[in-house]
């Protein structure tokens, strides 16, 4: 099964999406401008782009995709727990560690969050500091802020 890559121009930057016919492997924010290759045959990648469009337009709160992120067993546990954080809600890194059953693993949980290869779909942006601060986000804290505001319905639309 061949791996394919496409690019999606979101309101907060270009996303590079990789996957195959059966699953999504990664979604990363990239700084380069790319155009979408015309020969994408993967239904799952096409479905991912459609669902991201629905998400950014405010018409989707949950994703229905098959995900295949590459990581350690522990990272997989952390990423699966991230999928349990509801749309429009946040959790602290401490709460995330407690949900995984090990309050002392807070740094390992934070590290695994930072290595999440499937941005937005696996919602690591919903994890915040215990004091409510928007600590860390591989895509940039400004994107984390935008995504949280978008999900809470507080994102201000530009008039110009």
CB < 8 Å & 24+ apart, contacts of 72-78 = 74/108, 74/112, 75/112, 75/115, 78/109, 78/112, 78/113
What total of structural domains would you count in the chain?
2
What is the three-class DSSP state of 89? coil
E runs forming strands in the chain: 4-10, 13-19, 24-30, 91-92, 127-128
Q: What is the pLDDT of residues 87-127, one digit of tens each?
A: 999 999 999 999 999 999 999 999 999 999 999 999 999 99
Give the strands of the sheet with 24-30, arranged side by side. 4-10, 13-19, 24-30
Q: Within a domain: residue 86?
A: yes
Q: Within a domain: residue 89?
A: yes
Residues 94 and 48 both lie in one domain: no
pLDDT at 158: 44
- 């522990």: which residue's tokens? 74
Q: Within a domain: residue 67?
A: no
Catalytic positions, written as ranges: 124
Residues 137 and 78 both lie in one domain: yes
Residues 45 and 81 both lie in one domain: no
Average pLDDT over residues 3-16: 92
Q: Within a domain: residue 61?
A: no
pLDDT at 159: 38
Measured between alpha carbons, how far is residue 128 from residues 17, 123, 134, 153 in Å?
A: 25, 11, 5, 18
Residues 100 and 142 both lie in one domain: yes
Q: The pTM is what?
A: 0.90
- 5 phi, psi to nearest 5 deg: -130, 140
Range of the domain at 105: 73-152
With beta carbons less than 8 A apart as the criterion, state whether 82 and 123 touch.
Answer: yes
Length of the chain: 160
Residues 78 and 51 both lie in one domain: no
Q: Within a domain: residue 29?
A: yes
Residues 89 and 33 both lie in one domain: no
């Amino acid at each position: 099964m061949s791996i394919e890559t496409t690019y999606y121009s979101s309101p907060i930057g270009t996303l590079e999406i990789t996957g195959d016919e059966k699953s999504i492997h990664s979604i990363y924010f990239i700084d380069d401008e790319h155009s979408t290759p015309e020969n994408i045959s993967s239904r799952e990648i096409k479905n991912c782009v459609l669902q991201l469009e629905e998400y950014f337009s405010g018409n989707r709160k949950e994703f229905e995709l098959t995900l295949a992120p590459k990581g350690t067993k522990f990272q997989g546990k952390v990423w699966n727990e991230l999928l349990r954080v509801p749309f429009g809600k946040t959790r602290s890194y401490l709460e995330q560690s407690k949900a995984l059953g090990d309050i002392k693993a807070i740094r390992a949980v934070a590290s695994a969050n930072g290595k999440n290869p499937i941005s937005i779909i696996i919602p690591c942006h919903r994890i915040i500091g215990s004091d409510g601060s928007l600590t860390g986000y591989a895509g940039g804290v400004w994107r984390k802020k935008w995504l949280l505001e978008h999900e809470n319905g507080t994102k201000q639309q530009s008039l110009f």
